[in-house]
A and B are shown apart, each in its own frame.
Chain A
Amino acid sequence: MSEVIFENVEKSYADQLVVRGVNMTIRQGEFLTLLGPSGCGKTTCLRMIAGFVTPSQGRIIMAGRDITNLPPYRRNTGMVFQSYALFPHKTVAENIAFGLEVRRIPRAERAAKVAEALRLVRLESFADRYPTQLSGGQRQRVALARAVVIKPDVLLLDEPLAALDLKLREELQIEIRRVQSSLDITTLFVTHDQSEALSMSDRVAVMQDGRIVQIDSPDIVYERPRTRYVANFVGRTNLIKIAVRARQNDTYRVETCSGPVKAFDVIANADSAMNIGDRCLLGTRPEHFHVGGGHTNSCEATVRAVTYFGSIRHVEAEGPAGEHFTIVARAGDPIPARGETIVVSWRPEACFLLPE
């Protein structure tokens, strides 16, 4: 079982606490992404699994062993670096064979595994090239092959696609996912790019200032963020200040706090700990706001700008209490004009409650 467990892991440099009390379990075979801005501690966590950083407190357990103080070369992890870190003096095949050589795998078996790895990343004809002769995307695939050929317990990817352009990034995202799931390796992926995190992962762990603030599957992180930070990090949010008036299990009846009084129905998270009288925020994703009536919740808004993006339009509007709304209008939807007062409506299931 190559599970990775973080138990109360902390890391401080000098007096700065970079990772605070992180508890998480990366399940066997899952693709978990650590998502957050620079400096939030995500890379430090990854490097603690690799063994390049030792936790100041807490334990890390991998495949049942406590690896907290084990040196990197005894951990059987495979890491893909942001800069690829390919050995410039070795060919592609020699790069991939390195981990196998160190493990004293006999030559014939080594050659077979290297060939298999090259097939996996579709670089068979590049075996004898040197890294300087490869493009960025090709180097990344070699780095990936090199990391997986040793059959690591955990695959670690440290923002591997940050240096590539958009098209290449999207291609490699699919490639990485394909390789990972076909080999069923437990994987930790670190990135600051939310769309990357949402599209590739089984679960996303959002980090803020050294802590994990939410860890859920992508759809839940996106549709049911737990805090304002998570909501804003993984997408745009339309926020309305409200107070809770009534509650029955998951269904809430809320009222606006400022501006004209309006009441809404919200079907929130199972563990939304909001009580009657609590002031909080009602959040809705732009694509769940519809121009025109037709849904349970509605309010008025004044259109400030309409921006054309090709497949969609963004309608920026001002809500009744001065809130900034972004509405996604698709082809076929009514397109309002600037200055027009419109009705915006949404469904109770399509919004969420956030603490202030």
Chain B
Amino acid sequence: MSFSIAGTKPLARDVAHGNSWQLLLLPTAILLGVIFVIPIGDLIQLSFHTMSGPGQVDSRLTVGNYQTFITDTFLLEILLRTCAMGLLVVVCCLIVGFPVAYYLARTESRWRGMALFLVISPLLVSAIVRNIGWYPLLSESGLVNSLLLKLGVVGSPLQLINNFTGVVVGLVHALLPFMILTLTTVIQRIERDLEEAAANLGAGPLRVFCHVLLPLSLPGVVSGSLLVFTMAISAYTTPAILGGNRVLVMATYIGQQFRTVLDYPAGATAAALLLVFAVLLTALASRVRTRGTDLA
């Protein structure tokens, strides 16, 4: 999702007024500095403090909060849970998304536009609407459970919402379109001729997948996965609603600290960590993507 301006060339003209383009940046730069850079900086510096009393922040600097993160089992659990959630979401999106992406990339039928629109359509409706739609589906008296009970697959209703499962389902649903679109672009870049050549030489569909599609799409797959992972761990609304405020991942932990527990430095520490992760992963994703296109 990052866009680099490194590809644009500056207007290299020796026109008398040419260099005044820079001045246009000033107001916006100042505004963003004040409303974004400074608050984020302030948040990070807050992570180096502790609470000295309710609503009071102690003025001494300390790295204690970060140390706690590495040693406290409760917090480590949260980190692990966050990563597990991210990985699970990515894997599900890959498995479900790849066939759809393959279809979209290769098909020439006139339904392609319609299919593409269907893939994007969930994104057109507000996230919060999609989230509450899962309740009648996943609750104990919901559709999935009544189907499972009717078919005799289970004896009593499964807990599918207000827990980790619900969160994963919700995130997969929200992020699947992104994965599908990324993979579609990736597969489109692989020439159809290569698959046909492999088939001509005797390779069946599985072979073609393993020896042609997978290796060539790998950089794009990795890049897309990194992005989906980052979006999954950064999400707040979905884990908060579908987890019933009981599923603690980094995002909901941060939310809890700032809304109810009111331990601002602790929340700031977690936020700073999440920030660093998100930025690093996004940067990594674009590195992988550019490296991949170099080889293509």
A and B touch in the complex (CB under 8 A): yes
The distance in angstroms between the C-alpha atoms of A223 and B198, with both chains bound, is 63
Per-residue interface assignment for chain B, residues 1 to 32, with 1 indicating a CB less than 8 Å from any chain A CB and 0 otherwise: 00000000000011111000000000000000
Cα of A54 to Cα of B14 in the assembled complex, Å: 7
A94 to B14, CA, bound (A): 28
B20 to chain A, nearest CB (A): 12
Structural contact, B14 and A52, CB atoms closer than 8 A: yes
Majority secondary structure of chain A interface residues (helix, strand, loop or mixed): loop
- State whether B13 touches A52 (Cβ < 8 A): yes
CA distance A53 to B13 in the complex (A): 7
Write out, one digit per residue, whether chain A residues 7-20 have a CB within 8 A of any chain B CB (1) or not (0). 00000000000000
B14: A residues at CB distance < 8 A: 52-54
Distance in angstroms between the alpha carbons of A72 and B16 in the assembled complex: 9
Q: Which of B152-206 contact A (CB under 8 A)?
A: none
Q: B residues within 8 A CB of A71? A: 15-17
The distance in angstroms between the C-alpha atoms of A54 and B16, with both chains bound, is: 8
A-B pairs with beta carbons under 8 Å apart, 13 shown: A51-B15, A52-B13, A52-B14, A52-B15, A53-B13, A53-B14, A54-B14, A54-B16, A69-B16, A71-B15, A71-B16, A71-B17, A72-B15
Determine the distance from Cα of A71 to Cα of B15 in the docked complex, in whole angstroms.
8
Q: In chain A, what residue has the closest Cβ to B16?
A: A71
Tell me the complex Cα distance, A71–B13, Å. Answer: 13
B residues contacting the other copy or chain, number (CB 8 A)? 5
> Which chain A residues (13-63) contact chain B, with CB distance < 8 Å?
51-54
CB-based nearest A residue for B14: A53
A85 to chain B, nearest CB (A): 13
Q: Given the complex of chains A and B, what is the CA–CA distance between A52 and B16 in angstroms?
A: 8
How far apart are B12's CB and chain A's nearest CB, in angstroms? 10
Contacts of A72 in B (CB 8 A): 15
Query: Which 4 residue pairs spanning A and B have beta carbons closest together?
Result: A53-B14, A71-B16, A52-B15, A52-B13
- Write out the residue numbers on chain A whose beta carbons fall within 8 Å of the beta carbon of B17: 71
| B residues 17-54 touching A (CB-CB < 8 Å) | 17
Nearest Cβ on chain A to B247's Cβ, whole angstroms = 52
A53 cross-chain contacts in B, Cβ below 8 A: 13-14
- In the complex, chain A residues whose CB is within 8 Å of the CB of B15: 51-52, 71-72
Identify the interface centre among B14, B15, B16, B17: most chain A CB within 10 Å of its CB: B14
A52 to B11, CA, bound (A): 12
Binary contact track B94-131/A, C-beta < 8 Å → 1, others 0: 00000000000000000000000000000000000000
5 more CB-based (< 8 A) A-B contacts, given A52-B14, A53-B14: A51-B15, A69-B16, A71-B15, A71-B16, A72-B15
The interface residues of chain B lying within 8 Å CB-to-CB of A51 are 15
How close is B11's CB to chain A, nearest CB, in angstroms?
Answer: 11
Q: Which residues of A contact B13 (CB under 8 A)?
A: 52-53
* Chain B min CB distance to A50 (Å): 10
Chain B proximity of A52: nearest CB distance (Å): 6
Select from chain B the residue with minimum beta-carbon distance to A47: B14
A54 contacts across to B, CB distance below 8 A: 14, 16
Residues of B within 8 A of A52 (CB): 13-15
In the complex, A54→B15 CA distance in Å?
A: 7
Residue on B with the closest CB to A13?
B14
Q: Given the complex of chains A and B, what is the CA–CA distance between A53 and B16 in angstroms? A: 8
B18 to chain A, nearest CB (A): 9
Q: Binary interface profile of A, 222-253, with partner B (CB < 8 Å = 1, else 0)?
A: 00000000000000000000000000000000
Q: How far is the CA of A52 from the CA of B15 in the complex (A)?
A: 5
- Measured CA separation A238–B14 after assembly (Å): 43
Residue of B nearest to A71 (CB): B16
Residue of A nearest to B13 (CB): A52
Smallest distance from the beta carbon of B10 to chain A beta carbons, Å? 14
With both beta carbons as reference points, the residue of chain B lying nearest to A53 in the complex is identified as B14
Distance to closest chain A CB from B222 (angstroms): 39
Question: What residues on B are CB-neighbors of A69 within 8 Å?
Answer: 16
Q: How far is the CA of A80 from the CA of B119 in the complex (A)?
A: 47
**Minimum Cβ distance to chain A for residue B166 (Å):** 51
Nearest CB on B from A39, distance (A): 15
Q: How far is the CA of A71 from the CA of B18 in the complex (A)?
A: 11
